[in-house]
Every structure is written in C-alpha cells, then in structure tokens.
Structure 1
Amino acid sequence: MNEITVEIQKLVNGGQGLGLYQGKPVFAWNTLPGETAAVKVAKEKKNYLEGIAVGISNTAPERIDPKEEHYLSCGPWQIMRFAYENYWKRKIAKETFKKIGGLELPEAVLVVGQDLFGYRNKIEYGFYTDKSSNKLQFAFHRRGSAELSPIDTCLLAKGNINKAAINILDRLNKAKVGAANLKSLILRSNRDGQVLVSLLVTNKNFKMEPDVIINDILIGFHIYYSNSP
C-alpha cells in the first residue's frame, strides 16, 4: 500500500487529521477536517494506518500557508488559522479528559497561549553537514522518516534560544567539527531569557571550552557523550 484517498473527519492530539480507509483509522499529517486527501502511507499497522498528505482535492477554508518549510517536523499546526488551532486544542483536551478520567472540563480551565511563534522554551536540533560547503547545519528529522532535513533555526523556539544555538553552531564550524562527531544540541530557556545548553557528542575525546562561549544569554554549557541511536 502506497497512496490512499481519505476524507478527514477531525483532528487528534499532535495535529494529525483522522479519517477512515476501508473501515480502518488513518492518521494523516498535513490535513484538516473536511478535506479529501491523497495520503502517502508511511506506517501500516494491524489496527491503523499513518501517513502524510501529498495532495488535497478540496482545501478547508481554515488552511493557511505554513511559515516554515520544515513545519511537519516541529509544528504541524502551522497549516491552520490560529483561532481554529485553539478551537481544536480545546476540543481535544476536553475529549481526552472525558475519555481517560471521565471528567467534563468547563471552558474556563482550558487556557491557550497567545503566541504563534517564539514560545517554546526547549528545543533539540540535530546536525547535518552540507556537502557543497562542508559546513555544519542544524537539522530536524523528516516526519515519518529517519532522514535529516537541514534547517536554519525554528521559529517556534524563543529568540534567545536561537541566538545561543547560532553562537554554538558558528564555533563548531570555526573548529571544523563534522556532523559525524555530534548527536544533537538541546537548549532550554528560563523566564529571564537565559539559556542552558547541552551538546551531545559521539566522540568521547571531543572538547570545547565552555568559558569561551558563556555570555549574557548562555549561562551554562555542558558536553555529554552519547552512544545511543
């Protein structure tokens, strides 16, 4: 099974659209309720299918163009209007509490954020070496794949997180460090905008002087060796 046609009925946790194909649930990224989608199947299980829409025949009025090319890797909600996103997040939260705990939540307790971008206080970037320039770049895994997709930074992260990330990336490039020696870069920000960084490496002998990069944004820098996949 490669590509199927699915009518999307609703959204579920995480931002996937849900429809049916021959009576089997299909969870499809890049879809909205009311749309008929050509879905490329990425995962086929006994009780459900999962995939990504590669074509939409009747576009929902709530659909908008995402701000980032890599939106499926970080924020699949970018394809819809903000008010519509919040409507579905409230609806999903109410359904989840009722299904799992038997609780009927009043609207008053369902609080949503007001920021479309720059709100995440934690992010993890992978690494990718550009073959033409031989320079290190950040990367996310493509949705439904182990393949890495090079990116600049992610708009969902707080501004100081990305400033700190670029600082680290520049220094890694100046030191001519290749992606093979690195696993990921994890950045966390506090309420004051200060950032703590963890660099996961695959080379036990890797060194980078933390005192060189600490500044008013970066308040902590740690290197960890990791041999996990």
Structure 2
Amino acid sequence: MTAPVAEVSALLLDLDGTLVDSEPLHRRGYESFFAHKGWDLPDLSVFTGRRAVDVFATEPGPWEGLDPEAVLAEVLDHVPDEAAQAVPGARDLIEAARAGGTPVAIVTSAGPAWVERSLVESLALELDSVDLVVTARDVEDGKPHPAGFALACRRLDADPAAALAAEDSPAGVRAARGAGVRRVHGIGTSHPRDVLLDAGAVDVHADLRPLLPLLPLLPSG
C-alpha cells in the first residue's frame, strides 16, 4: 500500500465527475436542449469542468449573440431532476481527511444548490462535512483559470504546493496546477487518461479510492 505523504495542507476536490458522476445527467440535458432548439449537437467535452456561461460567452456556436445566462437557464430546464451517483471512494475520502485533520474544500464550476444536493443526496453527508465550498459565484474567472483553487487555499490558509487535488477534466487540472498545486490527481470519469496527464495530472485513477492512502493520519496519543 502507498504510504501517506508527510504533509497535506488541504484536500481540494472538484464536484462534477470527481465526487459525483453527474456528466451523464448533464449530457442528457445538453442533448435535449440542442434537440429542442434544432441546433447541431457540439462536442460536449468543451463544457466539462468549465462554467457553462463561460463557454456560451467565449466559444463559437449557435448560441453566439445570445445572453449566456439566459441560454444556461434554458439548458438547466432540460437537465433531469435527479441526484447523481457518487463516485466510489468520495464519501470515504472526505471523512478520512476530516478524521485525519486535513481541511477539505470543494472547488466547483457548479452553483451552491447543486453542491448541497450532491453532498446530501449523493454522498449522504451534510454541507458542513467539508470546511469550504468555492462555487461558480465566488470567483470572476472560472476554470481553467486558477482563481477558484487559489481562493480555496487562501481561505484555508493552506500552502498550495502541499495540497492534494482531484479533478476529472483538463480544465480543472490546469486550474489546480495554475494555482500552484503540485499533486493533482486525475479521475477518469469524463476524459481519457492521456488527456488528463497532458493537462498536468500526476496520475489518473478510475475513482477516488486510490487517494485514501495518500492522506496523513492524526498522530497517535
């Protein structure tokens, strides 16, 4: 078994595709929305790990010239109203970090309501099971900009170089690395291993269980 590292200043976790396998729900929502509009379905990977409003504001597509917030509101009407499945190891990882004294932050492109629903319904945890939540509303620039991870480290007073992060998208990996996080582990729910490694992940796993041995334990006594 891999030995715990000497220090983890904070555990920084993405939400969609990392803690919960929500990408199938999002895909169904986008597919329904684009079919409803009569638009060709784009490569949906452009949305993974990024705030949808940023994509609608900056990427070319049939939505050009429309209000990004209004387009997102339409998309959300098409997303199935159901909780996502938990990624294996998600609950255990959060509980192990808290038990070992490692602060935990969720750094996500989603909004607060989806964070709470995912924690409560998908992971059977309370919102206060994590020390900090940084959502799309807390930063001006979304992933791959490092603002969210940098804010999490500042608020937790955590050295980013000693932090441990988990992300499922290249945008998220780049955001964490850009904030100075050296140990960014890819979770291969949404993208191939080589894509996450090329973005800067130190390793890629099928789920979160391989990260459990990396957490330090509280000193005995």
Tell me which of the two structures has the higher relative contact order, counting C-alpha pairs closer than 8 angstroms and 6 or more residues apart: 2
TM-score (norm 1): 0.24
Q: Which has the higher strand share?
A: 1
TM-score (norm 2): 0.25
